Each structure stands twice: as C-alpha cells, then as structure tokens.
Structure 1
Amino acid sequence: MDFKNVVYNAARDGKLRRLKVFLDHRTPEEVLNLIATKTNGATPLVMACRNGHYDVVEYLVERCNADLEQAGSVVFDGETIEGAPPLWCAAAAGHFAVVKFLVKRGACVNSTTKTNSTPLRAACFDGHYEIVKFLVEHGADIEVSNRHGHTCLMIACYKGHHQIAHYLLGLGANVNRKSVRGNTALHDCAESGSLNILKMLVDHGAKMDVDSYGMTPLLAASVTGHSHIVEYLIGLPEIVSRQESIDALELLGATLVDKKRDMIGALELWKRAMAIRYADGETPLPKPAQTVPVEAYEYSREMRTAEELDNLLADPDEMRMQALLMRERILGPAHPDTSYYVRYRGAVYADAGKFSRCISLWSYALDMQQAMLEPLNPMTQSSLFSFTELFSFMMGEEGRASGRGRRVPAVSFQDMLQVLEKAVKEVRAGMGLSTTHLSQASGASVSAFSPQGSSSCSPPPTPESGKTVASQTQPEPSHLHRVLVIALHLACLTMQSLARQNVYGPGSEPWQAAHSVLYQLVSLDPRGRGGQTPLHLACSEDAGLVGRYPACNFPSTILVTCLLRVGADVNALDDSGASPLHVAARSKPSASLVKALLSAGAHLDAIDGSGRTFSQLLPPDIPLPKLCNEVKHTTLACLAARVLRNNRLPYLGQIPRHLESFVACH
C-alpha cells in the first residue's frame, strides 16, 4: 500500500480518523517523511488548507509538526498556482478559521507564491473582507504586488469589492501606483465598471494617468463599453479635458457598433463628440487630417461634420468602417483592440460570404501586428492561424453555398502567396534574423472565424495572476514551432491551389513565385520542436493543424516534393537522430511520399538515434513492399557501409572523411 498517497488523500478529503489510523502509531521521523511528501505537487497540509479542513490542519500542525511554510501546487479557477504556502491557500479559498489558526501558530503573513502573490492579495481577489482585515492586523503588507505589479487595491477594484477597497484606502494604500503595464487602480475600476469604487478612488486623489498603451481610465471604460463610467468621468472637467471627452465618446460609440451592434446609440455619441469639437465660445477641435485612405476600410474617411454623420444610419456598413477608423486613430495600431476588432469585422464578413473583404481586413490587421508587436506574439500567431482555417474552409467548400446564399469562391493565389510571405517573415523575425540575412540566404464574438485574444476581451484574472495583456507575453520556444507549422500549412495550401489552377509547372510565374518563398523558408534553416526541420514536419502527421477544415493533410507529398525541390536536406537529423524518412515511417506514409524522399537521396537502411531503420519503424499493417522496391533503392555504397558497421570493422581514418558520416548512419 502506498501510505503517502493514503495520507495525502485523507488530508485532501478531510478524513481525520483515517489520517490518525495511518500516522498515530508511527515514529516522528516516519510521520514527517509522510506529510512532507508532495503528491500532485502538494503536501497534505496544503490540500487541507485549500479545502478548509480545520481539524485536519490542526492535527497536521500540532501532532505531526507539519512545516507551515512548505509550499505546493493548487488549482484555483482552473489554473494551477505554483509555490502556494498553506496560508495563501486558506486565504484564497476563504477559510477564516484555518487562516487564524495558521497565523496563531506562526505562519508568515507575507509569504508568497512563485509569482509573488501574498495571502492578503489572494483574500482580496474573492472579497474575503474578514480575512483581509485579520491579515493586515497581523502585519500583512498591503503594498506587496505580484509579478505583474498588481497590488491588493488594484485587484479589489477590478473585482468590485467596495468594502475591501474602502478599507485599504483608509490604510493609506497608494491609489496611483502603477503595474508593470502601467495601469492603476483607476484603470482596473474603469474596466470592470465599478462606479462606486471609482468615485471613491477619485475622492482619494486618483489621477487620470496613462498605461503603457497610452490608455487613460476614461478610454479603458470606453473600450469595455461602460457608459456610466464614461459619463461620470467626462463630467469632471478638472481631470478630463475636452479632447479626452471627445475621444472617449467616439471610442464608446465604436464599441457600441462592434460589441453591441447599437448603431443608433453610437451615432448619438458621435454627434455629441462633434458638438463638443465645435462648441460655441470654445476653440474648435477638428479631427486630424486623414492622409492616406485604407484599402481594407474600403477607402472610407472619417465623417467630419454633423451633416455627414446624419447620413450614416442609411449605411450600416459605412458605420462599421467609421468605428474601425476611429478606434485606430484613438487607440493607435499598437493597442491589441485595434487589430482585434479589424479581425472581428473580417470574421463577420466571412460568415456572410464576403470572403474578399475578410481577407483584406485580416491582411491589414496582420500587417499592423507584425509592425507593432514583438516577433511570435500570440496575437500574430492567431491571425496567421485564422488565415489557415479560412483558406482551408474555402478550398474545401469551393463552389458550395455559404453565407446568405453566396457561393464560396476559389481562393486567390495572390492572397495565399502574400499571407505565406508574411508567415515566413514571422519565422525569420522569430529566429532573430535580419532582412539582409534573408536576402543573402536567398463583445463576444459570434463568428465561426472569430479572432482570439485582446486586452479588453481577455479572460478574467486568477487569484494569483491578476490581469495580463496578451501582446506583452514574451515569446516561448514553442511559439516558433507553431508559427513554422502554420507557415508550412499555408505553403501546402498554396501549392494545392496552384495544382487546381493547372499552372503547377516550372515555366509559370506563380510556380516560380511560390517556390521562391519556400526557398526563403528553407534557407533560414528553422527548427521546430525537437529540432525538426520543415521537411521533418511536412512528413509528420503530428504537424496536422486545422481540424475543422482539413483541406491540407500531413504528411503532405506535394509539400515534401516542393521542399526538396528548393533544397531541403533529405538526410537532416532532428534531436532524436531521425531523418524525415524516419518521421514519415511513424506517420503512415503513402508510396508517393516515400518515393519522393528516396528519389531525393534518403537511405532506406539509415538508422535513427535508437538504431532503427525505416522498415522497422513502419506500422505492422504497412509492409515495406507496399511502399517501395527495397532492392531498387539499396545501393552498393549502402551495402558496403552496412558491412563495415555490422562487422564492426575500423573505418575512421581509413576512408575519405566525407564518407565517415555516411557509414555511421547505416
């Protein structure tokens, strides 16, 4: 019997009697060993505190001498919290009696999780006022922030806990303190819509400051659609200027158009903003000149007079373009919501069967993201993946009715090629290579194609993490792998499109253009997860990406053929010592795929890092003769190398050096 699991389960489930049966008769050393062992990342004490089992906690501490500071992993709101001390767990879950017991026994009130979240901040998250007050009275520091710079006051304001916010302000909490991304408690309050708390913050000297995107709390309220917050703040001329009021009303109107589909409400707000611009007795504040009309916006320009605004109700589509124009002008291209709503509008057009407008808007949003965000940003990944889904859908449904009776048109080769070029550009940027190197080497969406991720549309924070912004996420190693896979899918779709249009030949201009982009990708020598090259991934069914619209299946013979044609190394090895042929063996390859690899110089008898050949890696239901003629693809050089290896004959220094690696792989 695994006694450690028994003790853990008993503590987690509050089974004190069972716990005593297993521990009371043991030596102190055995007891300490059992209760100090972590199961699923947590100790028995951590789980007892997490679940509020007071009698179990008391027993583990007083009878078993459990370590009050030994942290563990617990789950809150679906997220695993690493390094959570017992007191943090009890405070986050609202178990006041357990909190009081632990503090009385000497638990550190300012202990933190791995992301620097304190028990006090955890209690503030879910509004456990009595616990908050108790912890403060016993020395908890109200100004300790988590790794994102979010303080107890900020999270209380965001979650709308008026009593806690009032209490913290009474203790002198810094009302204008900024988080890592530059937001204050007033920002959090404006985003969550808590007017009473916001008024209280203003009374305590909260300033109309800007975050790292240049967003004021007033604009944050406009973006999230909290009109009551906007109306209150623009009524405070001592902290809000005329221009800020105008921007807030126009942005709120854009939010009503895109998030709530309230065209009449939006038009009223825009008219109010126009009236403020040209108020009697005030200096006029005209809109800035729009120098270059945007093709993706149908070359629309912002309405500059009240008369022009009056005509908008007759043209809902023009109102949507106005919303995009205003949001981009006010928020700027760097703000996540700017590109998010461009993508959202494109998705709505796609659902309506207006695919060309969708592609135009998504391309514009992708250009914006690649210009403003760091390489491999999750939002850029999402945009590229959306194109992959859209193109797959269009190719699979071509000619069929979709979106109000419209027929799905053929995908434009030029559209595909342009997106593929942008995907390769993202791979290059993610690898840290310059353009010079490359040239030398070569709210709530209802749309099926809706984009994912935005600052104002992001999921709520957890007790530990606080609010974060997707566009500030640092690229991870897995991000390059994902972008590389997306690029390969786009390449596969592009080549299939060429084949369908009967221009898949060396003499055609599209053929040369597509291969040129693939050559650029191969020349970068990008490596995905496990050191896999593009050719490895093209040979792997694990690289399959688009589940809903599988127009492009992996392994892909057409993609493998094209990669080989532009110089992909057929015998390149990944981190496990496998070649593309070995990867293909594990992915139920077709005869045409195997033929393409063998014709390019792959060796049937080459071994991977585990000493297995292609035939040994094949599934039992796919015999080698079904795929190729072994004799035809076995050369005298291969046989000679095999003799040297099988008979362990010395060959290093005895044969030309360039042949040593050839022998070693057989």
Structure 2
Amino acid sequence: MLVGAKVGGATPLVIACRNGHYDVAEYLIERCKADIEQPGSVTFDGETIEGAPPLWCAAAAGHLPLVRLLVRAGANVNSTTRTHSTPLRAACFDGHYDIVKFLVENGADIEIANRHGHTCLMIACYKGHIRIAKYLLSLNADVNRKSVKGNTALHDCAESGSLHILKMLLGHGATMDVDSYGMTPLLAASVTGHTHIVEHLINAEYGLVTRQQRIDALELLGATYVDKRRDMVGALALWKRAMDDRFPADGSEPIPKPKDVPRIEAYDYAVEPSNAQQLEEILADPDAMRMQALVIRERILGPAHPDTSYYVRYRGAVYADAGRFSRCRQLWHHALDMQRAVLPPLSPLTQSSLFSFAELFSYMLAERARPPLRGRIVPPVTFEDVDPVFRKALSEIHRGMELLDSKLSIDREQTLTTLQRVLVISLHLATLMARLLDEPECTEEVSRNIHKAVYSLVKLDIKVRQGRSALHVACSAESRGGRGAVVGARAGRGCRRPVTLSRVARR
C-alpha cells in the first residue's frame, strides 16, 4: 500500500527514478515489489507530465543505470505517458544517446509518435541532437513521416537551424512537403531566420525548389530580418535578390508581384515595391520597411499562420512602448480580426490578443494617474477606444456559446473553461469602461453608452463552469480586483511567441 501510494501525483518509485536514486529504486523493486508500470506525475522544466511510467522518468532524466534496472526487472520499453510519449522519445528530447541506443537494443519502437504525431526522429532533429538523428536514420526511421499538423523531420530541422542534420535528412531521401499551414521547410527556415538553411536549400545545383519558392523564401527571410534582427540593410539586400529573381537579366519570363493584394489600413496602405528603385527609396523610411515586412509576411504565409498575427501584435507593442498608442491599437485590431476570421472560437491566440488590449488600456489609465515621465504624455482612454474591443470579446463569447449548443463533438469541460477565461477578460474591459464614468470628460451620452455596453454582456445570460453566471464570475477570486489585476502591465506582455507543443514539449 505504501509503495503504491502517491504524493503530489507520484509514487515513491516514480520519484526515485525521476531524481536518479538508484539504491532507493532497487530496494522498492526488489524488496518491496513495487509496480514498475504504475505511472505518476512528474515535472520537467516547469512542465507537468501526467501518467509517466518509472521508465519514462528515468529515460527523460538521463539516468542510464536506472533505465537498465527497470528493463532488467521487466519494464515495458514502449510504455507511454498520458499523451503517448515513450521512454525513447523522452531520451531523444534531451539527447541521451546511450539511453536511446540501450532502449532500441531492448525492443523500443522508434516509430511510436506522441499525441501530436511527432516521432523520435522529429524531436531529435528539432533539438539538434546530431548523433541521435544519425543513429535513428541508420535504423531506417521514416524520414518523410508527417505529424498531425503535417510537419516532417525536415521542417523541424529547418526551424532549429542544424545544417548538418538537414544534409543527412536530404541524403536519406527527405522531400520538401508542406504542413497544414502550407509551409515548406524552406519557408520554415525563412520564418525563423536561419539564413544558412535557406541558402543551402535554394542552391540551384540541388534542384529542390522552384523559382517562385526561392523568391518567396528570400522575401520572407527579409521580413524576418526586419522584425527579428532589426537589420534593415540586410533585409533590403534579400529583397533585391528576390527582385532580381523576379526580373532576371537573362531575359527569362518575369514573375511580377501579385496585383490583387489588398491595401490594408493598419499597414498604412503600404504597397510592395515593383522595381529596384522603389526598394531603395523605402530604406530611408524605417516605418515603411516595417510595414513592408508585415505586408510580405501576410501575403506569403496567409492570415491563418500564427506568425502573421504574432508579428503584427509585436509591432503594435513596439509602437505602444514608444508612446504611439493609436498605431498600436490599429495593428492589434487587424491581428485580432485575422485571428477571429481563421481560428476556432475561444482560441488561446484570440484570448491573448483580447487580454493585451485590456493590459494596454489599464497601463494607459495608470500612467495618466502619475506625473509625466520625462515629459511623456499618455493620451486619455476613451469609450470609443474600449468599446470595439469589448464588442469583439462579446462576439467571441457568443461564438463559444454557439459551440456549446452545437451537436459537434467537443470537450465540454475544456470549452467551458476557455469560455470563462474570455468572460473574465470581458469583465476586465467592462470595469475599464466603468472607470471612465469617473472621468470629468464623461458626458451623459458616454455614460449611457457605457451602461448599454455592459448590459449587452448581461443580456447574453452566459453560464460557465458549475453553472456560474457573469455575476458569479465577477465576484469570484479569478476576477477579484478587476481593474487592479492588470494595471501597470507593459503593453507588449501578451505578445509572446506562440509555442508549438507538438514540436518542443516533452508531452
């Protein structure tokens, strides 16, 4: 009973294997007859892994003697966590080559993927573990296998920037497939800014890519230079190369830029240059270069790709930090509209965008209450600023409620949880509007509009987890303090780069 009991979700054997206590594990197995397959919860790098068998814990932590002990005792080398991660994949994640080799020699299946369809070869390539990748390839690992989201080992390698592994993959027949976003490994390298990977893949002698793909890669890499490296000169050089490719001097058929690309207000109606002279002219205007980067990224990646909205939000945050709050709001609205158009209801990315607005307005209100810093004057927050965001938040709630009422197969409890998060953000926005009632500039008409807006939230008659209404949530711990919960936060805090769990997480 004692050796099977859990503390913090973990049995004594799981704890011993996680922390490398060989003598304790040996005693628990041989003397106490502990169940060597009984899973538990463990934490790695701040991430909680549920349902991890002892062997998985030892392999993930790099304890080879414990791995040998468990296998000798009869542990299943292909046992998995709750998210279908094997001990072999856990060892591949952190580059424990000796454990990888031992597990394979004792029957571990190299092709078992986790819940995201991400294989041992994929994670070894993403993490840059050359020796492990080479070993798995020598065992004829499926080099072109796709994950749930359509990425291959070549995508992962292009994102991580390991040219040596990339060459090995190509030597074993890796192909330039597209993932669910339509991204090739070449575009993946351009997005992450791995110039050496891009240059290798577009090398004409390999014949891996078409002329159009080469042009897109150079243009997208230039956009990455602007936003990620702040290298305007380098970006211009890449865009010039792409322009020369579009209009080659040898008289080949030109490939002009698309003419039907819409001009977007948030990007100052920027139009992409159509010749080298126009390219030279925009170098003198940093803002024009930044807008070019956003226009190019949206054209090539499309609005559905997470990086498109991420960099729009990032640029808005930079403007906010520079005191250009109007430009920030304009860009953030465009990003939010893109997300709501292509993402499912209650998406975490949409939630993040809405919360960033709440943080921005709270920050502006807090700064206005303080003496100006170095003469910087923060403009007032008006009802016209908050109301459009509030309406979009309510629309997201309505979409969530429709999802719950639909006959679609969904995780109802999880949907209610995410719906509650959006409700909390909406309550924060409502509280910010209520603060405007105390402002001297608040007219009777503005007061009436604020009350109407808040009533539109009440009228939704929303019910979240445990049947709680908006009033219940407003009085609960997660919403207590309302305006104080976000006051003083920097505008850009919500613009974190999206993490693709299928690629980098242990799960």
TM-score (norm 1): 0.69
Match of 1:295? Answer: 265
- Contact residue 436 and residue 442 of structure 2 kept, 8 A: no
1:324 is the counterpart of 2:268: no
> Match for 1:246 among 208, 215, 221?
215
Distance 1:433 1:129 in 2: 46
Distance 1:65 1:537, change over 3 A: closer
Q: 1:137-194 CA distances to partner (integer Å, 9 max, x unpaired)?
A: 1111000001111100001001111111111111110001111111110111111111
Q: How does 1:267-666 map to 2 (within 5 A)?
A: 267-279=236-248, 280-398=250-368, 405-432=375-402, 476-500=415-439, 502-505=441-444, 508=445, 510-539=446-475, 542-543=478-479, 544-545=481-482, 547=484, 550=487
Offset of residue 412 of structure 1: 3.5
Distance 1:538 1:140, change over 3 A: closer
Any idea what SS the aligned residue of 2:402 has?
coil
Amino acid at match of 1:133: K
Match of 1:42? Answer: 10
Any idea what SS the aligned residue of 1:83 has?
strand
Distance 1:330 1:401, change over 3 A: farther
Amino acid at match of 1:323: A
Distance 1:278 1:197 in 2: 34
Distance 1:268 1:513 in 2: 51
Any idea what SS the aligned residue of 2:49 has?
strand
**Structure 1: unaligned runs, 5 residues or longer:** 1-32, 435-473, 553-666
Offset of residue 476 of structure 1: 3.8
1:193 is the counterpart of 2:161: yes
- Contact residue 176 and residue 185 of structure 1 kept, 8 A: yes
Q: How does 1:198-217 map to 2 (within 5 A)?
A: 198-217=166-185
Any idea what SS the aligned residue of 1:339 has?
helix
- Contact residue 71 and residue 86 of structure 1 kept, 8 A: yes
Amino acid at match of 2:193: G
Offset of residue 68 of structure 1: 1.7
Distance 1:547 1:153, change over 3 A: farther
- Contact residue 400 and residue 407 of structure 1 kept, 8 A: no
Distance 1:241 1:402 in 2: 55
Distance 1:291 1:164, change over 3 A: closer
Any idea what SS the aligned residue of 2:319 has?
helix
Offset of residue 226 of structure 1: 0.8
Distance 2:11 2:442 in 1: 65
Distance 1:152 1:348, change over 3 A: same
Offset of residue 533 of structure 1: 2.2
Q: 1:274-315 CA distances to partner (integer Å, 9 max, x unpaired)?
A: 111111232211111145321111111111211111012210
> Match for 1:96 among 64, 71, 91?
64
Match of 1:590? Answer: none
Any idea what SS the aligned residue of 2:381 has?
coil
Task: Give the aligned length.
Answer: 478
For the aligned residues, what is the CA RMSD?
Answer: 2.2
- Contact residue 352 and residue 404 of structure 1 kept, 8 A: no
Match of 1:79? Answer: 47
- Contact residue 145 and residue 152 of structure 1 kept, 8 A: yes
Distance 1:535 1:38 in 2: 38
Distance 1:162 1:275, change over 3 A: same
- Contact residue 190 and residue 224 of structure 2 kept, 8 A: yes
Any idea what SS the aligned residue of 1:314 has?
coil
1:228 is the counterpart of 2:196: yes
Distance 2:215 2:112 in 1: 37
- Of 336-345 and 535-544, more deviation after overlay is shown by 535-544
- Contact residue 486 and residue 545 of structure 1 kept, 8 A: no
Offset of residue 59 of structure 1: 2.1
Distance 1:151 1:546 in 2: 45
Amino acid at match of 2:208: I
Any idea what SS the aligned residue of 1:285 has?
coil
Distance 1:513 1:283, change over 3 A: farther
Amino acid at match of 2:259: A
Amino acid at match of 1:328: E
Amino acid at match of 2:103: L
Distance 1:298 1:393 in 2: 25
Distance 1:475 1:257, change over 3 A: farther
Distance 1:493 1:200, change over 3 A: same
Any idea what SS the aligned residue of 1:432 has?
helix
Distance 1:121 1:325, change over 3 A: same
Distance 2:274 2:64 in 1: 59
Offset of residue 385 of structure 1: 0.9
- Contact residue 353 and residue 403 of structure 1 kept, 8 A: no
TM-score (norm 2): 0.89
- Contact residue 428 and residue 524 of structure 1 kept, 8 A: yes
Amino acid at match of 1:478: T
Distance 1:393 1:100 in 2: 55
Any idea what SS the aligned residue of 1:73 has?
strand
- Contact residue 432 and residue 483 of structure 2 kept, 8 A: no
Q: Answer 1 or 2: higher relative contact order, Cα 8 Å, separation at least 6.
A: 2
Distance 1:541 1:99 in 2: 44
Offset of residue 420 of structure 1: 1.1
Structure with larger Rg: 1
Any idea what SS the aligned residue of 1:493 has?
helix
Distance 2:123 2:13 in 1: 27
> Match for 2:128 among 142, 160, 163?
160
Q: 1:542-601 CA distances to partner (integer Å, 9 max, x unpaired)?
A: 51355475399xxxxxxxxxxxxxxxxxxxxxxxxxxxxxxxxxxxxxxxxxxxxxxxxx
Distance 1:243 1:399, change over 3 A: farther
Distance 1:220 1:404, change over 3 A: farther
Distance 2:97 2:477 in 1: 53
- Contact residue 345 and residue 403 of structure 2 kept, 8 A: no
- Of 165-174 and 519-528, more deviation after overlay is shown by 519-528
Any idea what SS the aligned residue of 1:81 has?
strand
Distance 1:150 1:525, change over 3 A: same
**Structure 2: unaligned runs, 5 residues or longer:** 405-412, 490-507
Any idea what SS the aligned residue of 1:550 has?
coil
Amino acid at match of 1:410: P
- Contact residue 88 and residue 118 of structure 1 kept, 8 A: yes
